[in-house]
């Protein structure tokens, strides 16, 4: 695949603002200014973008929460157009990407987050910041036809089929030799996550991209590819009226272990994943526990995700 990318850091000059740690307390968001050179144009996936089958030994457990840097990257995939309802509206695919990462030297595991239909990454910012404060580089692209702030009148759910390619492009652009995360993200430790339509995107990427260490599917539906998954965490509201509880159960049933299913009791579709929801603490806790164990390798084997449920709010089942 011939790939060209333009990478420019648009906005990391954010003044200090409030992020959240995994327990809900404040952490400092540090602002930096960075300008990167254009990423190279490889004809194949960069070696660094494909994790090794056997990841390196895990680092020692972290003292978290870490201070977090926030930024926006203007990524452009010049190899693919944007097509809406049969008409080409752009010869390139702009993929502005929100980025959160620890303001501490190191090479951190990388998590790609895919947003749901029409809403963009914004409702999930608190969760993404919490992951960064726990020691991860988190990147969330704005999909050109399913983020209403980008698409406008061209909002088009059928573009969902192009979003796995968008996620793969962002991974490659970030990890390219001159990319913005080349010395920041650990290319051997990558996970994908997503909500609703973004969960479908994440599951498709997880099925097709060798070497991923984890996938998190939030209130989505099955992609019909049983057994094609890395370690998997499914989080599902049991009162979701868009993707019903049975969808989460089907994703879990079709997956190979290790796999976990979290039911959020009394929860609907999007509100549980927004800042301030009653389920916020349990969602942060179980997702970070999953990432720490399977992606970063930081968790003591005596600890278990099965202990991360909360009476009245969430149940957890799984097979390690």
Closest CA to 135 of 292, 303, 301, 273: 292
Q: Work out the number of other CB atoms within 10 angstroms of the CB of residue 23.
A: 11
* Any domain includes 166: yes
Between vectors from CA 119 to CA 117 and to CA 122, what angle results, nearest 5°?
A: 135
Q: Look at residue 75 and tell me if it is in a domain.
A: yes
| Residue range of the domain that includes 258 | 5-49+60-319
Which pLDDT score, from 0 to 100, does residue 18 have?
Answer: 34
Alpha carbons within 13 angstroms on the beta-carbon side of residue 163 total 35
Q: Please list the residues that pair with 111 across neighbouring strands.
A: 138, 191
- Position 272 in a domain: yes
Stretch (H or E) spanning 204: helix 197-208
**Is 143 within the bounds of a domain?**
yes
The SS3 assignment for 219 reads coil
Q: What pLDDT, on the 0 to 100 scale, is given for residue 46?
A: 30
What's the number of domains the chain is made of? 1
How does pLDDT run across 2-13, given as a tens digit for each residue? 334 444 333 333
Task: Please tell me the predicted confidence (pLDDT) of residue 106.
Answer: 93
pLDDT of amino acid 303:
66
CA distances for 213 relative to 69, 193, 254, angstroms: 24, 11, 18
- What is the Cα–Cα distance from 22 to 27, expressed in whole angstroms? 10
**Quick check: bond before 298 cis, omega within 30?**
no
pLDDT of amino acid 60:
62
Nearest Cα residue to 267 out of 243, 232, 291:
243
Radius of gyration of the chain (CA): 18
pLDDT at 169: 98
The answer to whether residue 134 sits within a structural domain is yes
Q: Which two tokens stand for residue 9?
A: 């850091």
111-134 tens-digit pLDDT: 999 999 999 999 999 999 999 999
3-state DSSP assignment of residue 123: helix
Q: Residue 55: inside a domain, yes or no?
A: no
Residue tagged 């370690």 (tokens): 231
Q: pLDDT value at position 302?
A: 57
Q: Is residue 54 part of a domain?
A: no
Using alpha carbons, select from 291, 230, 238, 301 the residue that is nearest to residue 259: 230
The DSSP letter of residue 272 is G
Q: Does residue 145 lie in a domain region?
A: yes
Rounded to 10°, the helix 197-208/163-175 angle is 60
Task: Decide if 247 contacts 222 (C-beta within 8 A).
Answer: yes
Would the CA dihedral through 221, 161, 154, 146 be positive or negative?
positive
Give the dihedral sign, CA 43/178/147/207: positive
CATH number at residue 133: 3.40.50.1820
Average pLDDT, 10 consecutive residues per value, the chain (320 residues): 39 34 38 32 30 48 89 97 90 97 96 97 98 98 95 90 98 95 96 98 97 98 95 97 96 97 97 96 95 90 73 91
Residue 93 confidence (pLDDT): 97
Tokens of 230: 């890395």
């Amino acid at each position: 695949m011939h790939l060209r990318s333009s990478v420019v850091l648009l906005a990391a000059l954010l003044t200090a603002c409030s992020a959240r740690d995994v327990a809900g307390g404040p952490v400092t968001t540090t602002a930096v200014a960075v300008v990167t050179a254009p990423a190279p144009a490889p004809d194949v996936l960069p070696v660094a973008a494909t994790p090794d089958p056997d990841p390196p030994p895990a680092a020692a457990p972290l003292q978290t929460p870490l201070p977090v840097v926030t930024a926006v990257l203007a990524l452009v995939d010049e190899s693919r157009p944007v097509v809406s309802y049969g008409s080409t509206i752009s010869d390139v695919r702009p993929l502005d990407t929100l980025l959160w990462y620890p303001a501490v030297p190191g090479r951190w595991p990388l998590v790609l987050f895919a947003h749901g239909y029409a809403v963009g990454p914004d409702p999930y910012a608190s969760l993404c910041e919490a992951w960064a404060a726990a020691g991860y580089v988190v990147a969330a692209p704005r999909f050109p036809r399913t983020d209403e702030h980008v698409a406008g009148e061209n909002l088009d759910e059928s573009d969902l089929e192009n979003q796995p390619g968008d996620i793969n492009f962002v991974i490659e652009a970030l990890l390219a030799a001159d990319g913005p995360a080349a010395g920041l993200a650990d290319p051997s430790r990558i996970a994908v996550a997503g909500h609703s339509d973004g969960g479908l995107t994440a599951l498709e990427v997880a099925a097709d991209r060798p070497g991923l260490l984890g996938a998190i599917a939030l209130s989505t539906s099955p992609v019909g590819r049983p057994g094609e998954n890395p370690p998997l965490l499914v989080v599902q509201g049991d009162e979701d009226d868009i993707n019903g509880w049975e969808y989460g159960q089907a994703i879990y049933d079709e997956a190979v272990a290790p796999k976990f299913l979290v039911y959020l009791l009394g929860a609907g579709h999007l509100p549980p994943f927004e800042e301030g929801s009653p389920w916020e603490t349990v969602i942060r806790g179980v997702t970070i526990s999953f990432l720490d164990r399977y992606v970063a390798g930081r968790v003591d084997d005596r600890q278990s995700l099965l202990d991360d449920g909360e009476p009245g709010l969430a149940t957890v089942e799984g097979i390690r």
